[in-house]
Structure 1
Amino acid sequence: MSENDLLDPFLFENMEKVVERIKVAKLKKEKIVIYGDYDVDGISGVAYLVIMLRKLGLNIDYYIPNRVHEGFGINRSTLNFLKRRDTKLFITVDISINSREEIMLLKKNGIDIIVTDHHRQTTICDEMEILTINPKISKSYPNKYLSGAGVAFKVACAIYERFGMSKKILYEYLDIVMIGTVADVVPMVNENRFIIKKGLNNIKKTKIKGLKYIINYLKINPKNITTSDIGFLIAPIFNALGRIDNSKIVVNFFIQEDDFKLISIIEEMKKANKIRRYLENEIYNEIEEKIQRLNRPKYIFMKSRSWHSGVVGVVCSRISIKYNIPVILVSIKNGYGKASCRSIEGINIFDMLKEISTKLERFGGHDLAAGFLVSEKYLFEVERYLRQRLVRKNREDVEKILNVDSWLNIKSINKKKLCDINRLAPFGLDNPEPNFIDTEVEFIGISKFGINNRHFKGFAKKNDRVISVIGYNLGHKLKAKSENERKYRVIYTPIFKSVHSDLYIELRIKDFI
């Protein structure tokens, strides 16, 4: 897919009106504030739109709410920020407005609203005649699976087209959009595939000075960077600030040119990541201890006043993946419960929240990942309802199915064969990495690492071939040293790893028995 194959952004019903409103803002030199969600997708979408619109001479500022102190929605802090800057146009990225009161509050202060989002949402914006760009609700835009940053890219494309500007620069900064797209785990097809492939190519010679620093810090070879490097190494560091501190710093990371300030930002990110890992570990251990006292639960619903709301989502995902069950974790503070929900195929958690939405302050998300805010006075009722719905599903024990593409003897793997496999990249949702299977494989020199020793690394041996291996979230399967001497049937994906300028092959172990 090339730039010429991208869908016309004006297939979105409201795009023409959106561009016209932005034209008016430029003509009148109005202040535009871009407001984004505090996850990586929202942050990267905001950063991209800020950079692209400032290059057109528009008067742009941005605002990312503090996850812990502000949470969802337009609050007093947001409104004060907008009023101090005499804001006339408010553009959201990766987030909608699901409250009539919030819309009325902005309109009362003379602020026009444009919503760009990709989540399933309520009909409030339509009812209040808010200009909305959202592939999930568009009847004419074919690609329903853009990320929030991807939607921001389409908006920028439309603006540049109507302003008569070359789109070349839009593509040169797609590494920012790519990071948000990978982090949000959208299907790796069509426009998303173009964004990711182009972005991965751009990052090798990125125009974003901060990315050069972070890639160097993580010891990633930019020439061989993959979606796995983005999803498992780069995105978590960006996410950490949003979970622990303030995501606005990460937007500044993308647009900052001053080396001294960039180093300071990166140090804050590293510090936040360490705190995030500690807090996550504390909550995870507490929940694991409780799970061990349960008899093979079909779901988990737990709540606490001591949990940091910024990290419960990560723990939620870990527990759900490990046990293959729906998980809802609620952090209670100041009279409200803030929940993270993760589900599994066949159980739509978002629809459950819609059914009880009248009791929720706010909610949002996808079929398998959602969140909500609830007043403590309704928390018991919401908990009881969700427990009943999850019990009624009455699912049999579900074994997680891991598809295998082919048998491949690890003795036969070489760089040429792996290069042929990588022609299918970039990999992700709907274009997964190929999984291969081999038998009679020994693990040698194995060591565990990560929080709770959840990962392992070492070597695989078959006959006279020894090859490096790494297994994420599989540390618990290696329970005793004696097991290292056993021969296994192994499902794996071969990948390239680089040390300095040297390339070598590593097997990413997906499972073994």
Structure 2
Amino acid sequence: MRWTLKPIPPSEKVKSLANTLKIDPVLASLLVQRGIETYDQAKQFFRPSFKDLHDPFLMKDMDKAVARIEKAFENNENILVYGDYDVDGTTSVALMASYLKTKHEQVYTYIPDRYDEGYGVSYKGIEFAHENDFTLIIALDCGIKAIEKVAHAKTLGVDFIICDHHRPGDEIPDAVAVLDPKRQDCNYPYKELCGCGVGFKLIQALASKEGKTAEDLTEYLDLVATAIGADIVPIDGENRALAYFGLQVVNTTPRPGIQAILKQVHKTEFTITDVVFIVAPRINAAGRMKHGNYAVTLLMETDEKAAEAYAEDINNYNLDRRETDKQITQEALQQIEDHNEQDRLTTVVYHESWHKGVIGIVASRLTETYYRPTLVFTKSGDKLAASARSVKGFDVYNALEACQEHIEQFGGHKYAAGLTLAEENYEAFKLAFEAEVSKTIDRNLLTPEIQIDAQIDLEQITPKFYRILKQFAPYGPSNMSPVFMTENLVDTGYGKCVGADETHLRLTVKQPPSPSQMVCIGFGLGEKLALTTDGKPFSAIYSIDENEWQGNVSLQLKLRDVK
């Protein structure tokens, strides 16, 4: 691990903000690092408001989208709500279809089959719409690159409204409306919405025609918060407000489908991290192991008993998914070893039998082991399909763009993408990708970096300090959970390895001469036990959280690394 201490913000700004807010200078420093320097900015950060949400009509084509949907209502048209099979796609479809069904009876949903149709808008989906008399498709979390498919639909008399957040290509599809804040010609003030966020802006625009505000749509925000967490979009600006209010819904009045998932774990309060690690994998598992329709059905179910039955099924898919990804990860690691590819700058592996539904997870796992841009391929029909994952600071989308002569189709983000290619192009692509990454990557990026927000002493961690720190949540990109460093720690004699396989580290530490002690837990850090229990002082980096045990709540340090 590379330990990097973030630049210390200008002391006069920190001092001024600490005095204004009457808070610890360390907390003021964390705020200044996040671009918060005034009382008003701090108020907006700590107390998000529905007023922070932008006018949806600032988004390019929003007026056209609303007009076309209103026309569909008037003409009693069949509307097909179409979305991708991942969390962002299925939550988007559930959100849009649930809302439209309150206004119009003929609203149906369609999720493409991951294996038969692949990612995004498919010809099969368009044929389904045409054959079943749908004249309007609202595509969510996909469609920005579906130029030929949207044109084909038009010849069949099927209109498209696209709600996407992925980067457009050079050409925009010829749809009735294309809502995507990343369009070059879109002046919408916030660019980082997820697909479900763009869908929410569309229902906000529709509701405004009846004099309703975003606050009147609060019941849909549990879906938006789930998508924001799962899609790893920045949690700043508008996303922060949407996630903040969405988590309130998750914790108070979640829809029966989300409530049924949350019932499977024993917790009282859920954070965005819980949404990412509890709700999202289960929703995703439906599309990975069975079909994304199961997730949409669960998320739209209004009966609690029925929702619990669906959630039970989906939990079983998730258990199958875990077994499958564990096995494939082991096979992929063996392949890297067998081919002597440990010293490359990229990981590119392929086996025709690997389950297409979990190759993205496997790519993430391999990135944890060999910290470098990673692609995992499997057979998909007569093509090869891959999921790509990157390391912090390296744009894998741009690297794929540079190799596109070998690729048939690709799309995605800076850190995660998907692609298909012809089998005969696999070896050439593998060489080209390694060459491109070798040419463009800063070698420092191949060592995982932990950025440290501030260096503090143990005695600064008081209940009041933590109470304010807790209000920095919800955490995510652009507002990560603050990471601290403390030097000269010593173990008080209780250090040990814990967990079923003893891979985790549990310590009780103090920082002489202060007598105050803190319990630390370091997941996956068991091998560092000897380094911390030999009586010599050590440094640690950690985040601060609460440990709940037998009804007692205490502060603890969640270790990230020690040395």
Same fold (TM over 0.5): yes
From the superposition, tell whether residues 242 and 414 of structure 1 become closer, same or farther in structure 2 (CA, over 3 Å): farther
2:476 to 403, 420, 428: 428
From the superposition, tell whether residues 394 and 14 of structure 1 become closer, same or farther in structure 2 (CA, over 3 Å): closer
1:185 to 232, 241, 259: 232
Partner letter of residue 407 of structure 1? Answer: Q
Residues 334-360 of structure 1: CA distance to partner in whole angstroms, max 9, x if unpaired? 321111111224432212323344543
Q: How does 1:88-487 map to 2 (within 5 A)?
A: 88-126=135-173, 128-137=174-183, 138-222=185-269, 225-292=270-337, 293-357=340-404, 359-393=406-440, 395-398=442-445, 399-410=447-458, 413-439=461-487, 440-442=489-491, 444-448=495-499, 456=504, 458-462=506-510, 469-472=520-523, 475=524, 477-479=525-527, 482=530, 485-486=533-534
Structure 2 residues not aligned, in runs of 5+: 1-47
* Matches of 2:470 and 2:98, distance apart in 1: 32
Structure 1 residues not aligned, in runs of 5+: none
Bigger Rg, which one: 2
* Matches of 1:381 and 1:291, distance apart in 2: 18
Partner letter of residue 248 of structure 1? Answer: N
Q: How does 1:28-107 map to 2 (within 5 A)?
A: 28-57=75-104, 59-75=106-122, 77-107=124-154
Match of 1:25 in 2: 72
1:179, distance to aligned residue in structure 2 (A): 0.6
1:163, distance to aligned residue in structure 2 (A): 3.9
* Matches of 1:226 and 1:457, distance apart in 2: 24
* Matches of 1:313 and 1:155, distance apart in 2: 30
Of 282-291 and 48-57, deviating more is 282-291
Q: Please, what is the CA RMSD of the aligned residues?
A: 2.6
Do the aligned residues in 2 keep the contact of 1:279 with 1:311 (CA within 8 Å)?
A: yes
1:494 to 517, 522, 544: 544
Do the aligned residues in 2 keep the contact of 1:68 with 1:243 (CA within 8 Å)?
A: no
Do the aligned residues in 2 keep the contact of 1:331 with 1:339 (CA within 8 Å)?
A: yes
* Matches of 2:522 and 2:332, distance apart in 1: 23
* Matches of 2:276 and 2:452, distance apart in 1: 22
Partner letter of residue 415 of structure 1? Answer: P
Three-state SS of the structure 2 residue aligned to 1:217 is coil
* Matches of 2:189 and 2:483, distance apart in 1: 30
Q: Identity rate of aligned residues, in percent? A: 28
Of 430-439 and 145-154, deviating more is 430-439
Q: How many residue pairs align between the two structures? A: 504
Three-state SS of the structure 2 residue aligned to 1:344 is coil
Residues 67-116 of structure 1: CA distance to partner in whole angstroms, max 9, x if unpaired? 23321244454245324532111011111153444223322322100111
Residues 402-444 of structure 1: CA distance to partner in whole angstroms, max 9, x if unpaired? 2222334446644333111112222111111111123425473
From the superposition, tell whether residues 295 and 360 of structure 1 become closer, same or farther in structure 2 (CA, over 3 Å): closer
1:160, distance to aligned residue in structure 2 (A): 0.9
Of 73-82 and 358-367, deviating more is 73-82
TM-score (norm 2): 0.83
TM-score (norm 1): 0.90
Residues 439-485 of structure 1: CA distance to partner in whole angstroms, max 9, x if unpaired? 42547343246xxx69636444337766554444xx2x433875673
Three-state SS of the structure 2 residue aligned to 1:172 is helix
Do the aligned residues in 1 keep the contact of 2:165 with 2:192 (CA within 8 Å)?
A: yes
From the superposition, tell whether residues 230 and 121 of structure 1 become closer, same or farther in structure 2 (CA, over 3 Å): same
From the superposition, tell whether residues 501 and 19 of structure 1 become closer, same or farther in structure 2 (CA, over 3 Å): farther
1:183, distance to aligned residue in structure 2 (A): 1.0
* Matches of 1:333 and 1:286, distance apart in 2: 19
1:294, distance to aligned residue in structure 2 (A): 3.7
1:63, distance to aligned residue in structure 2 (A): 1.1
* Matches of 2:176 and 2:505, distance apart in 1: 52
1:162, distance to aligned residue in structure 2 (A): 2.2
